[in-house]
Amino acid sequence: MDNDTLTQRDLKVLWHPCTQMRDHENLPLIPIRRGQGVWLEDFEGKRYLDAISSWWVNLFGHANPRINAAIEDQLRNLEHMILAGFTHEPVIRLSERLIGIAPQGLAHCFYASDGSAALEIALKMSFHYWQNCGENKRKRFISLANSYHGETLGALSVGDVALYKETYRPLLFEAITVKSPDCYFRESGESWENYSTRAFAEMEQALERHADETCAVVVEPLVQCAGSMRMYDPVYLKLLRQACDKHRVHLIADEIAVGFGRTGTMFACEQASVSPDFLCLGKGLTGGYLPLSVCLSREEIYQAFYADYTARKAFLHSHSYTGNPLSCRAALATLDIFDDDDVIERNKDLAVRLAQAAAPLAEHPHVAEVRQTGMILAIEMVKDKTTREPFPWQERRGLEVYRYALDQGLLLRPVGDVIYFMPPYVITPEEIDWLTKVAREGIERAGT
Ligand SMILES: *Cc1c(COP(=O)(O)O)cnc(C)c1O
């Protein structure tokens, strides 16, 4: 078996995610034979450092012995079963653990498989809560410019990345979109805190105007990942929590990408000391092993659905693989690693190393900004450093960096012209230095 044979077979029968398939006429598709730690290996023995954690899901490396063992053990007992009318120990233990570590007040876990589905659950639950409370005017959602919440129609409706959304607009419901606290747009010399505070004025206005027709505000806490890894200050979440309380509107925190230590704390909301009414988790939840997502909600929300069957208040939503036992065991093993290895604390050193290694790039004439929140570091490439004029998108500079890095054995997947690192937490300081060096060379070569 070699790369070419597999590639040819693949292209006959597959359709890959988020890809213009014609690109593969000259962009190699890479079949992977195995993974080990931060490394992926193809069928010719070439290795690639997975600097983006396989689309932000992997936390403790590929083929992690501890997660493998947990799944193997579960496999001997129970692979899957219906979660309606029945239950199993892994899903109970996982729910207890999640409620134990999540921001205060989140009391019930509702499971799905993908992040988008967790978002749909939060949107439907919030809307349904208000229905159950007799507040029938509430049908709208407020979300941030440049936000991303997934690809299903509801999640896409509250998202705002034109590349993914525009074509489907006629199918979507209309969300109220307000200015993002995205600190890329701060004045020179202005602090993140100041800019994010100023940006909140629009949210306050939207809430004043629309609160009585609004179910919830939905945000990605601290980092808009698919929206070019744009970042903002925790103060915005503090102000938002206060305003949601004042205007009696739910707050949905989509921590699908930023949860599980990505921003430097277990959950990004912790940095603002706020608790959302709904918390959506996915991606890293199983350490990148199996599809599992969850929507946590407050007791008060659960209680609004708890009634006689004939009151017709139940949340009659389900997914086939909801609460899958194998996924739950992978998630439990992942949480064990966080505890046993003191991961959040150890990541602080890795984050410092990332910052140091990438710092010189800030001076590069084609780099507008190097920004970082915890274990996410992003480099914004532009045509003109002073005016921040972007490269014409048709040039696909990011793709050039992608190609160069691949040649060197590094897997990056820039969003447009933004190169970012979101590595598994088992990366070594030396590997961080190396990947930064390769990215730098790629940025220097792009366009030459
Ligand atoms: C990836 C992502 C989603 C969607 O999750 P899927 O598992 O891809 O459906 C939702 N919200 C955020 C913030 C994400 O990064």
Q: Which of 256, 267, 281 is the best mutation target for the ligand 1 pocket, counting ligand atoms within 8 Å of the beta carbon and taking the most? A: 256
Three-state secondary-structure class, residue 430: helix
> At 137, which CATH number?
3.40.640.10
Is residue 231 domain-shared with residue 357, that is, in the same domain? no
Residue 11 resides in a domain: no
Q: What is the pLDDT of residue 1?
A: 85
How far from chain centre, in Å, is Cα 292?
13
Establish whether residue 119 lines the binding site of ligand 1, counting it when its CB lies within 6 angstroms of any ligand atom. Answer: yes
d(CA 317, CA 406): 42
Q: Which of 316, 341, 366 is the last residue of a domain?
A: 341
Q: Are 425 and 349 in contact (CB under 8 A)?
A: no
Is residue 363 domain-shared with residue 330, that is, in the same domain? no
For residue range 114-149, list pLDDT tens digits in order. Answer: 999 999 999 999 999 999 999 999 999 999 999 999
Is residue 231 domain-shared with residue 117, that is, in the same domain? yes
Is residue 215 domain-shared with residue 234, that is, in the same domain? yes
Is residue 162 domain-shared with residue 261, that is, in the same domain? yes
Is residue 135 domain-shared with residue 102, that is, in the same domain? yes
Establish whether residue 149 lines the binding site of ligand 1, counting it when its CB lies within 6 angstroms of any ligand atom. Answer: yes
Establish whether residue 256 lines the binding site of ligand 1, counting it when its CB lies within 6 angstroms of any ligand atom. Answer: yes
Q: Are 308 and 132 in contact (CB under 8 A)?
A: no
Is residue 47 domain-shared with residue 72, that is, in the same domain? no
Is residue 146 domain-shared with residue 38, that is, in the same domain? no
Is residue 314 domain-shared with residue 251, that is, in the same domain? yes
What is the number of the ligand 1 atom nearest to the C-alpha of 293?
7
Please give the tally of structural domains in the chain.
2
> Taking the model in full, what pTM does it have?
0.98
d(CA 323, CA 333): 15
Is residue 351 domain-shared with residue 372, that is, in the same domain? yes
Residue 291 resides in a domain: yes
Q: Which of 294, 320, 341 is the last residue of a domain?
A: 341
Establish whether residue 91 lines the binding site of ligand 1, counting it when its CB lies within 6 angstroms of any ligand atom. Answer: no
Is residue 149 domain-shared with residue 179, that is, in the same domain? yes
d(CA 438, CA 114): 32
Q: Which of 58, 111, 116, 165 is the best mutation target for the ligand 1 pocket, counting ligand atoms within 8 Å of the beta carbon and taking the most? A: 116
Residue 9 resides in a domain: no
Q: Which protein residue has the closest C-alpha to ligand 1 atom 8?
A: 115
Is residue 151 domain-shared with residue 172, that is, in the same domain? yes
For residue range 280-320, list pLDDT tens digits in order. Answer: 999 999 999 999 999 999 999 999 999 999 999 999 999 99
214-219/140-144 β-pairing: parallel
Per-residue pLDDT tens listing for the chain (448 residues) = 899 999 999 999 999 999 999 999 999 999 999 999 999 999 999 999 999 999 999 999 999 999 999 999 999 999 999 999 999 999 999 999 999 999 999 999 999 999 999 999 999 999 999 999 999 999 999 999 999 999 999 999 999 999 999 999 999 999 999 999 999 999 999 999 999 999 999 999 999 999 999 999 999 999 999 999 999 999 999 999 999 999 999 999 999 999 999 999 999 999 999 999 999 999 999 999 999 999 999 999 999 999 999 999 999 999 999 999 999 999 999 999 999 999 999 999 999 999 999 999 999 999 999 999 999 999 999 999 999 999 999 999 999 999 999 999 999 999 999 999 999 999 999 999 999 999 999 999 998 8
Three-state secondary-structure class, residue 421: strand
Q: What is the pLDDT of residue 323?
A: 98
> At 35, which CATH number?
3.90.1150.10
> 349: domain range?
31-63+343-446
